[in-house]
Amino acid sequence: MKVPSLALLALIAATHSFAAAPRPAPAPPVIGATSFYVIDSKTGHELATLEPDKRVAPASLTKLMTAYVVFNALQAREIRLEDEVTISEKAWRTPGSRMFIEVGKQVSVQNLLLGMIVQSGNDASVALAEYVAGSESVFADIMNQYAQTLGLHSSHFVNATGLTDDEQYSTARDLSMLARAIIEEFPDYYRWYSIKEFTFNDIKQPNRNNLLWRDASVDGMKTGHTDAAGYCLIASAERDGMRIISVVLGTASSRARIDGSQALINYGFRFFETHLLYKAGEKITTTRIWKSANEYTSLGVLEDLYITVPRGTYDALESVLNIPAVIVAPVAQGQPLAELKVSLNGDDLVLEPLRALDDNPDGSFWQRTRDGVSLLFE
């Protein structure tokens, strides 16, 4: 008999159903915004949306990308938080919101970051850009490089502040991806976005994100406003282990951006839930490895796997494992061998490769010969 082909075997791992189908989530609230986009931070799952790919002026939301570049420079140890930055005349003269640094004075990188994050200081943003890259224009090139790396394909930056320029634009979807990257990659620095006020040069200024006072679950992230952009807000909130990111762009007032963001955050938490499906390294199933020193290997995921579903539908999920009929050694730890598909009412929500959790080297001559014969009759 011939060795069987690598046809996929569909193995039903788990199927659950309700006696009565849960109600679908209602439409999101109507708010006066040019666009908005709401996601679960862990999964990236879309919870609410209005023209998420509409290009708009990002205003001071640009400073999230400025911060992302600086955070990467800190992580790479190209700069340090305690480094003293000499303030240029250009930084000092930058119009708009400011932390009131003075030309020729030295200010630490950490204070400049706090001035940019809490007080939305344009002067601090330019000072950081010049320190990291030598000039703001070169810094903007780095911003665009990181934008491409993050997949922000509808964004382009020409300055570190968000001051209006026809060639500077972004979208609600891109900005949600940027916010998510900061939260995931730089949790220690992200905590600064929850600071309610910062004093520098004997001037105390409050954080412009008024949601920090209104909603205890909100711990970030950034406001923005120009005539071209309107009033904007990226907000992030965590309740019972679920984190939501809301991007609201182009509202008519600071009150409208706060009320609209609050409504969208409440909507997300009320009508959706996020669950941990499998932990990193947890055995999900096992499969036979032919001609291997190990007869079987465990399959799992290398990072925690979460899923976001409409509230009340988790028990209706259906999962399927697709495993090749024959897998032959050698198989390296981490090598993808199968696929996990999780669906809800026929819609695929998760397609995730399952990987070998152990090394599976070639077996002995006797094991290889024995399994070779067995495969002839399999």
**Per-residue tokens: 285:** 């199933």
Q: Judge whether 256 and 248 are in contact, CB under 8 Å.
A: no
- Residue of 42, 63, 222, 291 with catalytic role: 63
CA distance 92 to 81: 20
Nearest to 69 by CA among 177, 170, 206, 178: 178
Tokens for 37, please give them.
């986009």
Identified catalytic residue from 35, 41, 60, 292: 60
How many C-beta neighbours within 10 Å does residue 94 have?
23
Q: Which of 88, 161, 156 is nearest to 120 (CA)?
A: 161
Among 88, 120, 170, 292, which one carries the catalytic annotation? 120
Q: How far, in Å, CA of 312 to CA of 145, rounded?
A: 41
Q: Taking the CB of residue 12, how many other CB atoms lie within 10 A of it? A: 9
Determine whether 120 is an active site residue: yes
Respond yes or no: is residue 261 known to be catalytic: no
DSSP labels for 258-285? HHHHHHHHHHHHHHEEEEEEE-TT---E
End-to-end CA distance of the chain: 8
CA 231, chain centre distance (Å): 23
Helix (H, G, I), strand (E, B) or coil at 141: helix
Q: How would DSSP label each residue in 312-340?
A: T-GGG-EEEEEEES--BS-B-TT-EEEEE
Q: Which residues are catalytic?
A: 60, 63, 120
